[in-house]
Chains A and B, each alone.
Chain A
């Protein structure tokens, strides 16, 4: 079983749609949860991180963690073509960072 499971997609949505990206994880020791965005021909860049359960909002992006169900979500409101990228979730505890496989998102104009 992978430590962090993520559907690789691809996912295609029209501009303006609400996007929901999700991951599950197996190790209850994970305390920090992150979302990275990776554009084509670039390395991943940190988009958002949360500690433990709860929500965190940053502009059009909302990260949500439910530790009871070991579920990580990223919501993108009013999606734009510039949001087209691969989104990787990650979970971290005690120098152990585990990544999901990434979901490839395309937002069509």
Chain B
């Protein structure tokens, strides 16, 4: 494990379901991110939290709702998703001051919307 833990690893949900993705890091990082990874496309930044405050929302549909209760935990609440939302959802953390040590990613949640 990299130090960033994501659960569940796999999730299949219907379009009317509500589910949540969880991310946890104990690296002492102060910034956390949600990314969407689709085949043959660049990683798509969804949300950024610095010191628990949301600093970026990259025009993400409201059916995705993030929550950051503290600097170690990050959630992504999902409701009334569409089949095109099926993808790998990655959580990452970093120190906000610079990229020298890069981002530390979790293994992701493979989401399938049916």
Contact = CB atoms under 8 A, between A and B. Distances in A.
B106 interface: yes
Given A34-B99, A92-B99, A101 B40 contact: yes
Contact of A49 (B4, B100, B106, B107): B100
Given A2-B42, A8-B40, A43 B108 contact: yes
Interface string A74-97: 000000000000001000100101
B99 A97 contact: yes
Tell me if A's interface is mostly helix, strand, loop or mixed: strand
Interface residues of B, number: 22
A93 B101 CA distance: 14
Contact of B106 (A2, A8, A43, A100): A43
A43 B100 contact: no
A47 B20 CA distance: 30
Given A41-B107, A42-B107, A43-B106, A95 B96 contact: yes
B90 interface: yes
B102 interface: yes
Interface of A: 2-4, 6, 8, 32, 34, 36, 41-46, 49, 88, 92, 95, 97-102
Interface of B: 2, 4, 6, 40-43, 45, 90, 92, 96, 98-108
21 contacts: A2-B42, A6-B42, A8-B40, A32-B99, A36-B102, A36-B105, A43-B6, A43-B90, A43-B106, A44-B43, A45-B2, A45-B105, A46-B101, A46-B103, A46-B104, A88-B43, A95-B96, A97-B99, A99-B42, A101-B40, A101-B42
The 9 residue pairs across chains A and B that have the minimum distance between CB atoms: A43-B105, A46-B102, A99-B43, A92-B99, A8-B40, A99-B42, A32-B99, A101-B42, A44-B105
